[in-house]
Structure 1
Amino acid sequence: MRWENLNPDSGHSRADAALFGAEAVTTRAFDTPEFAGSTFHEIRNRAPGASRMPFEWTVNPYRGCTHACVYVTS
């Protein structure tokens, strides 16, 4: 599944997480005491400069399902 690269033991590099190239992606993972045993991942993709969207970054809070369809961004 394409999200497996977020697992630090997977052997994947940071570049594997990129949808538009590694330089366009900011990632971080953190644990919180309120949710013991859960690790949260934040992935932000920089929107291309030619985009007509009124923002610079996109945030996708969904991990998606186990089908991992390439045409679905969640």
Structure 2
Amino acid sequence: MRWDHLAENPATARDAALFGADMVTSRTFDTPEFRGMTFHEVRARTIVNRVPGASRMPFEWTVNPYRGCTHACLYCTA
């Protein structure tokens, strides 16, 4: 598969910090639709993720450009 070279070494990934101080850039977007929210721009290794084989999805990969959610639904734990 063309993304196989992006696989991370589990031995080093387990001990590494999630974010290094030099890897995170914070910016605040002051627009009416995002008032009161802070977005963190993060350098990502990849935004392509494999869908688990047991999933009913008709595809094997997803593209996730961001984490989290801005809807703030009361019933969700995202």
Larger Rg computed on CA atoms: 2
Both proteins in one fold, TM over 0.5: no
Report the TM-score when normalising by structure 2: 0.30
TM-score (norm 1): 0.32
